[in-house]
Amino acid sequence: MSLEYLDDVAVHYADGTLLLEQCKSALAHNPISDWSDDLWKTVANWFDAVETQKVDGAKTSFKLYVTPPKPGKLSTAMHTAADEKAIEALVKQVKDKLKKKANAPKCIAHVQKFINAPNALRLAVVGKATVFAADADPLEPLRELLRPTIPEALLDVICASAIGQAKEAADKCIRRKVPAVVAVAEFQRNFHAFVQQNNMAGYLPTFTAAPSKDAAKALLTNRPVFVRQLQLIQASEEQQLRAVSDLMRMSGDKVKWAEQGLVFNGTFEDWEGTLLRKHDAAQSEVRDTYAEKTQEAQGRIVYSRCAVMEVPLDSRVVPGHFTHGGFNDLADRQELGWHPEHKTLLNKEDKK
């Protein structure tokens, strides 16, 4: 499969055949109305692809996917025109409709390309083209495929992951300046691993990707409170960047889990209470055990212990970044601190 390479989406089959697919949103307008520029530009682009031998017309089929459903007389006729006789009737229908118009439509250049095209080209493209406009929600067909084996509450999480994995794979290709071709076997392997992991009972899944290094550095530069807390104990830049990344991912997961109904009201408050108790216990132990060390060193030891903790949420296992992100979120709100004198030091810094 490829994205934004031969078309919006292209399926590259093992036998050498292709499916080119144009995807159009019909939320704001009807992309398959009789004189829609979207409709006729799509057809013209397909003609160009075959004429320039970008694709082999004998081995390529074409699809215009529209959501939500919209009507269109010419697009319906195009969808059903599978042989030369039906295509000739479609050409006549287009010409007759044009004659009745007082002014030429804006898409006239694309329409003329269709009218003037050789019969063989029209047969190669229109004869193998389908117009699909039946899905009110484009995710529903994917949900239907997954529904037999995935709990309803996890369906949108898994769907989001599938889409996100495909986009990320394509984006990696684009960043390497190579065609955005996603290998099916590799995608299936990664997707199956994600489903297997996140479909386990007692596990809360994540679908919040790690932020880019540039995004993490941008937040680090702004020095939010949790970063300043780390700087008070002289934490390394690598530790600070990890804290930024994990806090951002944790925040995204909290929102998504709440939206999906995977967690209930009050769950996060109870969980944060557990984090605070564990922090207090670690701080007391470090204070007694490492009394000879500097306050900065003691703070780093407390932080290191908290950073590797994995605290379940509502008796369910959370992703590796979540607990660490939670500790930093509490540090951002100054409900806990790493340096024994963090409140005093932060107040002094604020007054400067």
In this structure, are 190 and 244 located in the same domain? Answer: no
Say if 266 falls within a structural domain: yes
In this structure, are 342 and 219 located in the same domain? Answer: yes
Say if 233 falls within a structural domain: yes
Q: Which domain holds residue 157?
A: 140-198
Both tokens assigned to 324: 């660490």
Q: Are strands 129-132 and 2-3 parallel, antiparallel or unpaired?
A: unpaired
Residue tagged 């215009």 (tokens): 64
In this structure, are 169 and 290 located in the same domain? Answer: no
Q: Which of 85, 110, 132 is the last residue of a domain?
A: 132
- 125 neighbors 62 (Cβ within 8 angstroms): yes
Q: What pLDDT score does 265 carry?
A: 67
Task: Give mean pLDDT in consecutive 10-residue pieces for the chain, a chain of 352 residues.
Answer: 90 94 95 96 97 96 96 96 96 95 95 96 96 93 85 79 84 86 84 69 78 92 96 96 96 87 81 96 96 96 96 88 97 96 92 73
Say if 340 falls within a structural domain: yes
Residue 234 and residue 69: Cα distance in Å, rounded? Answer: 58
Say if 204 falls within a structural domain: no
**How much is the CA Rg of the chain, to the nearest whole Å?**
29
Q: What pLDDT score does 182 carry?
A: 85
For the chain, the domain total comes to 3
Q: Which of 132, 153, 178 is the last residue of a domain?
A: 132
In this structure, are 240 and 271 located in the same domain? Answer: yes
Q: Which residues, including other chains, have CB under 8 Å from residue 334's CB and lie 6 or more apart?
A: 225, 342, 343, 346
- Give the C-alpha distances (Å, rounded to integers) separating 141 from 135, 157, 351: 8, 15, 58
Say if 207 falls within a structural domain: no
Residue in 134, 141, 27 with CA at minimum distance from that of residue 75:
134
Q: What pLDDT score does 196 carry?
A: 66
- 64 neighbors 98 (Cβ within 8 angstroms): no
In this structure, are 71 and 16 located in the same domain? Answer: yes
In this structure, are 268 and 345 located in the same domain? Answer: yes
In this structure, are 163 and 55 located in the same domain? Answer: no
Residue in 346, 229, 232, 226 with CA at minimum distance from that of residue 296:
232
Residue 169 and residue 182: Cα distance in Å, rounded? Answer: 6
Q: What pLDDT score does 150 carry?
A: 78
Say if 65 falls within a structural domain: yes
In this structure, are 219 and 328 located in the same domain? Answer: yes
CB atoms within 10 A of CB 121: 18
Q: Which of 112, 132, 152 is the last residue of a domain?
A: 132
Say if 169 falls within a structural domain: yes
Q: What pLDDT score does 163 carry?
A: 86
CB atoms within 10 A of CB 247: 25
In this structure, are 347 and 276 located in the same domain? Answer: yes
In this structure, are 228 and 320 located in the same domain? Answer: yes
pTM attached to this predicted model = 0.59
Say if 15 falls within a structural domain: yes
Q: What pLDDT score does 256 carry?
A: 85
In this structure, are 37 and 92 located in the same domain? Answer: yes
- Give the C-alpha distances (Å, rounded to integers) separating 99 from 90, 93, 102, 113: 14, 10, 8, 17
In this structure, are 94 and 147 located in the same domain? Answer: no
Both tokens assigned to 25: 């949103």
